[in-house]
Amino acid sequence: MTAAIFGLVGVIVGGVLNGVVGWLVARGQARSSTRAIARLAYDDFLHHQSTLVRALDAGCWWDGADLLGEQVCTEDWKLLLGELGDEPSQEVASARGWMAYLISRWRAAVPDPAQAQLALPLASRTLAPQDSQLMRDTFARMDRARRQLSGKVSGRKFSSFKDGGTLATLEPPRTLEELGIDAESCRLRRKADYGRPSP
């Protein structure tokens, strides 16, 4: 009888331990996936910021070749945003959403040269003032979103955009201050809620 009780207790304890170990392994895999997705999203935002910097420098919409495709798919975005806290998820989703909106404006403003059978003249791609400001605001949102994706979420240290190589490739080289997207300008735009009127 005692042996049967010990056997039963052993089965129960083994089942509980097996369940706990399985849960810990699944949780570790989810964290690892989230970390990898956060790193890719961080890179996507850097690529988009480079596209915006080149467009602001030229004063016109970017060429199709300047816009790199996203590495993060919709399902991965759902997983990442679900793992982030309220404020970080809002800031990351906002940055991604505004860049998607800018891409749709670009597609509407610049017809596909392949369909037109001609290269578009630069004048037809000139930015309207509101598009330039929207690009600056989106750059600022992406900078904030990259900060939210750094640290514990991705295991990646935040780096300023100016530490990258994009600015040095502009002809002539320019600074973020000259383009109106330096850290202080971005902070002031965030503080002003990107120009939205107060309620």
Mean pLDDT of 53-63: 93
DSSP 129-197: HHHHHHHHHHHHHHHHHHHHHSTTTTS-----GGGSSTGGGSSS---HHHHT-SHHHHHHHHHTGGGPP
pLDDT at 1: 63
Q: Is the confidence at residue 65, as pLDDT, over 70?
A: yes
**Regarding predicted confidence, which is higher, 31 or 184?**
184
Band of the pLDDT at 63, cuts 50, 70, 90? confident
**Regarding predicted confidence, which is higher, 173 or 138?**
138
Q: Is the confidence at residue 24, as pLDDT, over 50?
A: no
Report the candidate in 80, 5, 4, 86 with the shortest Cα–Cα distance to residue 37. Answer: 80
Q: Is the confidence at residue 124, as pLDDT, over 70?
A: no
Q: Is the peptide bond before 88 cis (omega within 30 degrees of 0)?
A: no
Can you state the angle between helices 86-109 and 129-149, rounded to 10 degrees? Answer: 150
- SS3 string, 109-123, reads HCCCHHHHCCCCCHH
Which residues neighbour 26 within 8 Å (Cβ) at sequence distance 6 or greater?
Answer: none
Name the percent of the chain lying above pLDDT 70: 76
Q: Is the confidence at residue 28, as pLDDT, over 60?
A: no
pTM for the model stands at 0.78
pLDDT at 33: 83
Least confident piece of the model among 86-95, 106-115, 143-152: 106-115
